[in-house]
Homo-oligomer: A and B are copies of this chain.
């Protein structure tokens, strides 16, 4: 029932090759011809079949996006940045969540899912040392990493170590010396942001001559409820902590909750600082180190587009973070 390029060619009295060129806006078409063809196509309400174009041209016009989690703030923001820059170029995005968001687990690996379907892939927030990534590389299309680095791949990320240091330096400047740390998982793989943030925490303490105290590190798994428990644990160590650095804002929310449930005042009795620049940090007065998450997605998209068109090899970019002090560290005075 749908029209084909042949119908348009016939109506315009030209070859299908010319219609194809005209409709795609290629250079080598006489302006008058192009105009006429375009007008006729529009008149017939014709549109090229993307599927046929893809098969004929060998380009998929799609990129893959791989991420462990699909409904989390960080991913969502990166994704928005990607969509924003890619949609105008008419590239489709094929999403694959490798994580445990699936009730039944995701049967396919990202590599299998993406195979023969994409011209390149953006990997968000995944450890760069996994089989998953390994298999993705076998696809032999450009890959760009967001939030991590890899010796052989393009990437865009932040300096997690420095970011963490900014957070803890802030606490230190406020006079705190017993500073708790709510991290993610107890034994993260090498190379991932958690390690760097941990190192930044240690750096800051060391610069003040404060040694690392294992009792002050607890784990919140990057979720609110687990961070609540972690904070409860932290509140029981002695000598007591007067401040806590959380590796994510969401964990910081959990920590804040536990603190007020204990009858303590966030920012006055115990200082809390997060990491991310979550969209609700402002309204809940949470001090944090902001990372330009959406921009991460934009930059990754640009890298990928360039790589797909073969215009360059691997590139790396590190974006800046900024400390945003609020009353969760400054106290009621700042509210």
Contact = CB atoms under 8 A, between A and B. Distances in A.
Interface of A: 2, 47-52, 54-55, 60, 70-71, 76-77, 79-80, 83-84, 87-88, 90, 92-97, 101-104, 106-108, 112-113, 115-117, 224, 228, 250, 253-254, 256-257, 260-261, 279-280, 282-285, 294, 335
A51 B55 contact: yes
Contacts of A285: 257
B101 A84 contact: yes
A95 B96 contact: no
A55 B88 CA distance: 24
Contacts of A70: 76, 79-80, 83
Q: Is the interface of A mostly helix, strand, loop or mixed?
A: mixed
B71 A60 contact: no
A280 B83 contact: no
Given A83-B70, A101-B80, A253 B283 contact: yes
A113 to B, nearest CB: 8
B116 A47 contact: yes
Contacts of A92: 92, 94, 117
A234 to B, nearest CB: 17
Contacts of A71: 76-77, 79-80, 294
Contacts of A93: 94-95
A89 B250 CA distance: 33
A283 B117 contact: no
When all copies of this chain in the complex are counted, the total is 2
A84 B107 CA distance: 11
Contacts of A52: 55
Nearest to A257: B283
A295 to B, nearest CB: 12
A276 to B, nearest CB: 13
A88 B60 contact: no
Contacts of A279: 224
Nearest to A58: B51
17 contacts: A2-B116, A50-B117, A70-B79, A76-B76, A87-B96, A87-B102, A88-B104, A92-B92, A92-B94, A93-B94, A93-B95, A224-B279, A224-B283, A228-B283, A250-B280, A254-B283, A260-B335
A226 to B, nearest CB: 12
A90 B80 CA distance: 23
Contacts of A97: 83, 87
A106 B85 CA distance: 10
